[in-house]
Amino acid sequence: MSVPDATGLLRHRDRIEGDLVVEVAFTDVSLSLGDAAAAGVRTAALDALAGATGATPVLMHQVHGAEVSLMGGEVGAAMPSCDAMVTSRPGVALLARAADCVPVLLADPATGWIAAVHAGRPGLAAGVVPAAVTRLREQGAAPSVAWVGPHVCGACYEVPAALQEEVAALVPEARSTTSWGTPALDLGAGVRAQLAAARIADVRVVDVCTREDASWPSYRRDGAAATRFAGLIWSHP
């Protein structure tokens, strides 16, 4: 199978230079990275990302929780079951996949410690973002920059009123209303509030609604046919 060229498929790229160079980017519908993708298709996409970044892509088996895995020498082993990964290893690209959920990337540019976080509705309520920040700090890092990737907006993410109340009781900033006047959740607003509470001052938001913009995968728009995109973060000398 031919490997697609991902160089032009990495969107919203950013980089920060410290002791190491930290880079971030987001894929789109051009690369299929979901668990439902055929093995050869996903492998080709990961090979393309490796070629574009010069780093080894690492996926997690995302379970909509708040577990955080420390990625050390085991890169290349089975995917960890978690919703956040942290590492200080250069040359490793951590991926958080989504199709309406919020991919969050964190960095301490001074030391090169990085994290990739998958924050869906359950993960937001469970506190996966603050859990990732805490895990970085436990490693001696001082995360100071966060990237909030494309996600379904608060005007599109309709939920039952009871579910809105359940999440808003834990993350009040997530309460929203759809553009047609029904109860909703704003996952991005909830994530940004958690980052602010964790004292992450430099928050860089990709202001895109995945449901409204067809260049991004969206489960709300496409149902089971939706693929997955990824936010990825890596470091190098």
Which pLDDT tens digits describe the chain residue by residue (237 residues)?
334 445 557 999 999 998 889 999 999 888 888 877 787 888 899 999 999 999 999 999 999 999 999 997 666 667 899 999 999 999 999 999 999 999 999 999 999 999 999 999 999 999 999 999 999 999 999 999 999 999 999 999 999 999 999 999 999 999 999 999 999 999 999 999 999 999 999 999 999 999 999 999 999 999 999 999 999 999 999
Amino acid at 10: L
* Candidates 3.60.140.10, 3.40.50.360, 3.30.300.30, 3.30.460.20; CATH matching 12-236: 3.60.140.10
Can you give the pLDDT at residue 213?
97
Can you give the pLDDT at residue 2?
37
Can you give the pLDDT at residue 38?
82
Domain boundaries, the chain: 12-236
Q: Where are the beta strands (DSSP E) in the chain?
A: 11-17, 21-26, 56-58, 68-70, 84-87, 92-98, 102-108, 113-119, 145-148, 175-177, 183-185, 202-205, 229-236
Can you give the pLDDT at residue 73?
62
Can you give the pLDDT at residue 1?
30
Can you give the pLDDT at residue 72?
79
- CB count in 10 Å sphere of residue 204: 14
SS3 at position 203? strand
Of 144, 96, 142, 150, the closest CA to residue 123 belongs to 96
- CB count in 10 Å sphere of residue 177: 15
